[in-house]
Structure 1
């Protein structure tokens, strides 16, 4: 699943630096995002104002806009860091491993923030899956992930990014992510990786002519 607005960072200020572990340099930005997600789910996205979000954290409206262009952008706070981590894992992967296996492991490693971030991550997933205003931004986010995936598969299989197989894998990965997150939300005790891996196995095509050295 994942966040973006240069297509990847959906309006998140470039002043906010985020590390792989999901902990941005600015605690204000993370606190605002967490508070906003709780308010969106509790009171409704349309009913929640920027003033409500700022007040929940004890900061000003102006402070909110230092970090985010719109209230929907809080959902994508971690997007750039996740995609950058994904790129890095792909680039460092063993060429002898099937590209689908590489993508699956890299994808999960990049978006699964662990039990310590479970509430925030579940809130984010629910908003992305079910809130129209957030879903509209998700299209740009998913496109960036698909580009990275298709380029990687194309390179590893001596194809071009627009060939059938790289495109099929790219679209299937994002669909598997959505399905896995939906299963995860349905089970409060489930781990994200446990819900994602079966969907990858069922939905992501493994070309028979892919060879590894």
Structure 2
């Protein structure tokens, strides 16, 4: 454990917060691994009791999900600001990209957290409720636009497709050391909005009879 972590055990720091606990836990997870880090160790490093830890989080796994849950609230707030004349899927792309704009200095921490969520089986097993809340936020927006309910076919499909596309963008971003996360999200969601259509071939490449015009019609 680092000297900084040892110092934390000498007494509860003033104003201990969920954010401070997350930073302490991420440091310990990096040093020891997620499975080998206990709640008691996180609490000790933060200078609080294990009982106090559970006032903040129900488990060490939920500690890593809370910023994801905050993103759900951010999505909901951003959707409320979108003008009615913005096309629905354009609005979805803009909101998801805006909600995932991170400062350059925060990117290493984001990569660490997302890598843990993607690779630790125990964390993956708790993902369902968090992903469902994210997906439903998109479905609710789609339902308002379409005049239906979030659990109707099309709003539900839009929410699930958007979540799957965003997760693909995250996975691609995590697998590379280049680029900004928002670039990956914007590209993937733009492709979703376009229906993942093939690029239009040049007229000269079209098979006979498919080149348009009036000849042969």
Equivalent of residue 91 in structure 1, options 80, 94, 103: 80
Q: Which residue matches 1:182?
A: 171
| Pair 1:81 & 2:70 matched | yes
Residues 100 and 181 of structure 2 are in contact (CA less than 8 Å); yes or no, is this contact kept in structure 1?
no
Specify which of 146, 152, 160 is matched with residue 157 of structure 1: 146
For residue 97 of structure 1, give the secondary structure of its aligned residue in structure 2.
Answer: coil
1:29 equivalent in alignment to 2:18: yes
TM-score, normalised to structure 1's length?
0.75
Q: How many angstroms does 1:156 deviate by?
A: 0.8
Pairing 1:137–2:151 present:
no
- Structure 1 residue runs of 5 or longer lacking an equivalent are 1-25, 207-213
Deviation of 1:190 (Å): 2.1
| TM-superposition CA deviations, 1:140-185 (whole Å, max 9, x none) | 0111122121121122123432333222211111111211111221
Distance 1:160 1:29 in 2: 34
Greater RCO between the two (CA within 8 Å, min separation 6)?
A: 1
Q: Using a 3 Å threshold, how does the CA distance of structure 1 residues 204 and 58 change in structure 2: closer, same or farther?
A: farther
Scaled by the length of structure 2, what TM-score is found? 0.73
Paired with 1:40 and 1:202, the residues of 2 have a C-alpha distance of 36
Tell me if the contact between 1:169 and 1:205 (Cα under 8 Å) persists in the aligned partners: no
Gaps of 5+ in 2: 1-14, 196-217
The Cα offsets for residues 95-126 of structure 1, whole Å up to 9 and x where unpaired, read as: 11111111121122223332232122112211
Which has the greater radius of gyration? 2
Question: CA 1:64 to 1:85, structure 2 compared with 1: closer, same or farther past 3 Å?
Answer: same
Query: How far did residue 204 of structure 1 move?
Result: 5.1
* CA-CA distance at 1:65 after TM superposition: 2.3
Aligned to 2:161: 172
Matches for 1:1-213 after TM superposition, within 5 Å: 28-203=17-192
Secondary structure of 1:78's aligned partner: helix
